[in-house]
Amino acid sequence: MPSYFGALTIPVLLTMVLVRVLLLKKAGVTAMKFGELDKTDFFIPPFVFLYFYSIFANAFRWPTVFQGALFHSSWASWIGVSSCVVALLLIFSSLISFGRSFRIGIDADRPGSLVTSGIFGLTRNPMYVAFGLFLLGEFLIQPNWLLLAYLAAGIVLFHRQVLREEDYLVQHYGDDYRTYCKHVRRYL
C-alpha cells in the first residue's frame, strides 16, 4: 500500500508545479527558465524520467531491474509516505510564498522580488528541502540501490544548485540578501 501512495505523490507534485507555471504564464511571467544559464541541466530530465519509472514500476509491478529491496520494514515505508506528504506540503507552501517570483531555473533577465516571508522565513530553500524529503521518502517506501543512489545524487545536485542560486542572489539583491542569510538558515 505505501508504494501506491509513493507513486501517487509524483503526479501530485508535477501537477502543483505545472499549474503554478501555467498560472504565472497567464499573468505574463515566464517561470520556466530551466537550462538557460547552464546547458548541462538538460542531462537531468532523462534521469528524472528513469526515477519516475522506477517508482511506478515498483508500485505497479512493471518490468524493472531494480526490484531487490535493501531491507523490509512496513514502519519505514509509512515514515516514507509521511516524508513525501510533508514534502508536498512544503512545496505547496513554497509555491504560495513565492508569489510571482517563482522560477524553474535562474531568471537573470526578469527576476522577481526577493521572497523572505512565509515558509522562506524558516528556510531559504524550502523547495530543495522538500525535494530532499521527497527522495528520502521514496527511498524508505521502496528501499533499493537505485533510489539510494538517487537520494545521494539528489542531495549533491540540490546543494550545487543552491550555491549557484545564492551566487546570483548575492549579485542581484546584494545586502538585502546577505542580511536575510544572517537570519534564516540555508536548509533547516
Residue-level pLDDT at 111: 79
58 pLDDT more than 80: yes
Provide the pLDDT for residue 20.
93
Q: How far apart are CA 156 and CA 151, in angstroms?
A: 9
d(CA 141, CA 135): 10
Residues 16, 162, 104: CA angle, nearest 5 degrees? 35
Per-residue pLDDT at 37 exceeds 70: no
When the pLDDT of each residue in the chain is averaged and rounded to a whole number, the result is 92
Q: Which domains does the chain have, with CATH numbers?
A: 2-183 (1.20.120.1630)
